[in-house]
Amino acid sequence: MICELSIEKLVQGGEGLARLPDGRVCFVRGGLPGERCRVELIAGKKDFARGRVVEVLEKGADRAQPKCPLYGKCGGCSLQHLDSAKQVTYLERVERENFKRIAHEELPDDFVIHQGEPWGYRNRARVVYLGERDGHCRFGFRKQESNGVVPVDNCPVLTPGLNDFLKNAKPSEIFKGQKRIPRDLEINLFDDGTGRVAYYYRGMPEARKRECSVSCVKIGAKQIKSDASVFFQSNLSLLPRLVQSVREAVDEGIASGAASDEWLIDLFSGVGFFAALLQDKFKRITTVERDGLCLQYAKVNLSEVQCKSDSGSPDHCPGQALAGMTKDGCSVENVSAPAEEWLVKNVVDIPATLIVDPPRTGLPPEALGAIVKSSVNRLIYVSCDPVTLARDFAKFRTAGFSLKRAEGFAFYPQTPHLEMMFVLAR
């Protein structure tokens, strides 16, 4: 069914909001505020519908020509039709509205979204191997809302290093020594910021994994070790701005007395990224991470001397707590456990500095409840989903916390995704 609809505004997820003749809300993929569009309805519910633009009848002032020929087919970008210079403005409007609707409170007037280059920024990607052509690998991305694959030779949001890999990688190098390559094989790629690309795929021989998947990223004077099989931020050029904001928030908390330099607790710590970059500020650090491989890297990243086995991989047996002392006297403990379980079992009876960086689902209820019952009076909440952040904030506010600082980070230009950092205190 095709309808002519007027787009009122953008909403979470980057869709335009319009209203059908029967009064239902329609979320329109590809529509921008102020536009009149012909829209194909692709899904309908009792209270709302979803559609996609098939023709723009009245173009909005901020519409742009997509830079990528695969736009609308590839499942990666979804905002290339919006002028890059205006994307942050729209994201801010969306998040202010989300926060007011979900948390029933206004974001601060000084809320700002930091941004970087709109193209050539993404240093991390997942591609699908499509076979060989003229001695080189052929790769593709998953299609939009489908498990199908669209072939790709060049992607305008990827770093030059990743695009060079897509163009020049050879099966004889990537799959060295392997006779059979699974169909539809997904490969994780990671550019360390120098153009060196690490890669990983399921079933990769261990020796090849040690040789090809490990990477080391330099943030300031700190080297952070990781590999292409685990999560790491995908925009290295903007990452130092987040680090700066977190360090400033830590300094403010310690200076005010609301938090302490006695103990940093880093929950959902991954490879120990934040803890490693804050190590100079604390007497004691605990990282808590349920993923065993991430825990191995956290141990490496928080040690003064990078601990390596002969293979070059982190030297640690997963599944246990690791403790040590750095040369500057900082006590470090790396714990393998779900954050909510560790919080419930461990009493935090001093005003420790707390950082949480949970997945998109936000804080588990048990973790949030344990924080509220603890002696923590100030926490730094880094979120990859503003909706669950607003939900969790509402619960913290009920427990006496207030919002002291809020910042956004547009790590993924050409998409509606936004990272945010809240500082909460009571």
pLDDT tens digits for the chain (426 residues)?
899 999 999 999 999 999 999 999 999 999 999 999 999 999 988 899 999 999 999 999 999 999 999 999 999 999 999 999 999 999 999 999 999 999 999 999 999 999 999 999 999 999 999 999 999 999 999 998 888 999 999 999 999 999 999 999 999 999 998 888 888 899 999 999 999 999 999 999 999 999 999 999 999 889 999 999 999 999 999 999 999 999 999 999 999 999 999 999 999 999 999 999 999 999 999 999 999 999 999 999 998 644 333 334 454 333 344 555 554 568 999 999 999 999 989 988 888 999 999 999 999 999 999 999 999 999 999 999 999 999 999 999 999 999 999 999 999 999 999 999 999 999
Q: Are the CB atoms for 267 and 356 separated by under 8 Å?
A: yes
Return the DSSP state at 108.
P
State the greatest distance between any 2 C-alpha atoms of the chain, in Å, as a whole number: 69
d(CA 67, CA 350): 53
Q: Which residues contact 100 (CB under 8 A, 6 or more apart)?
A: 106, 107
Residue 267: closest CA among 335, 319, 369, 365: 335
End-to-end CA distance of the chain: 53
Q: Are the CB atoms for 372 and 363 separated by under 8 Å?
A: no
Helix (H) or strand (E) holding 142: strand 136-142
- Residue whose token pair is 């500095």: 353
Q: Are the CB atoms for 228 and 213 separated by under 8 Å?
A: yes
Extended strands (E) in 197-347: 197-201, 214-219, 222-227, 264-267, 284-289, 322-325, 331-336
d(CA 136, CA 166): 9
Tokens of residue 212, six digits: 């090809």
Tokens of residue 35, six digits: 């536009």
Domains in the chain, CATH or no CATH each = 1-63 (2.40.50.140), 124-227 (no CATH), 239-425 (3.40.50.150)
Q: What is the pLDDT of residue 220?
A: 87
Which one-letter amino acid corresponds to residue 332? V
To the nearest 10 degrees (0 to 180), the angle between helices 87-103 and 386-398 is 40
Question: How many other C-beta atoms are found inside a 10 Å radius of the C-beta of residue 327?
Answer: 8
Q: Are the CB atoms for 79 and 41 separated by under 8 Å?
A: no
**What is the secondary structure of 2-64 as a DSSP string?**
EEEEE--EE-TTS-EEEE-TTS-EEEEET--TT-EEEEEEEEE-SSEEEEEEEEEEE--TTB-
d(CA 371, CA 374): 5
Q: What is the pLDDT of residue 86?
A: 97
Q: What is the pLDDT of residue 317?
A: 34
d(CA 98, CA 387): 7
Which one-letter amino acid corresponds to residue 160? P
CA distances (Å), 346 to each of 24, 120, 206, 304, 332, in order?
49, 44, 36, 27, 16
**Using alpha carbons only, what angle is made at residue 311 by residues 309 and 317, rounded to the nearest 5 degrees?**
50
Q: Are the CB atoms for 62 and 91 separated by under 8 Å?
A: no
Tokens of residue 193, six digits: 């910021």
Rg over alpha carbons for the chain, rounded to the nearest Å, is 23
Q: Are the CB atoms for 248 and 276 separated by under 8 Å?
A: no
Residue 409: closest CA among 274, 279, 227, 237: 237
Which one-letter amino acid corresponds to residue 356? V
Residues in the chain: 426
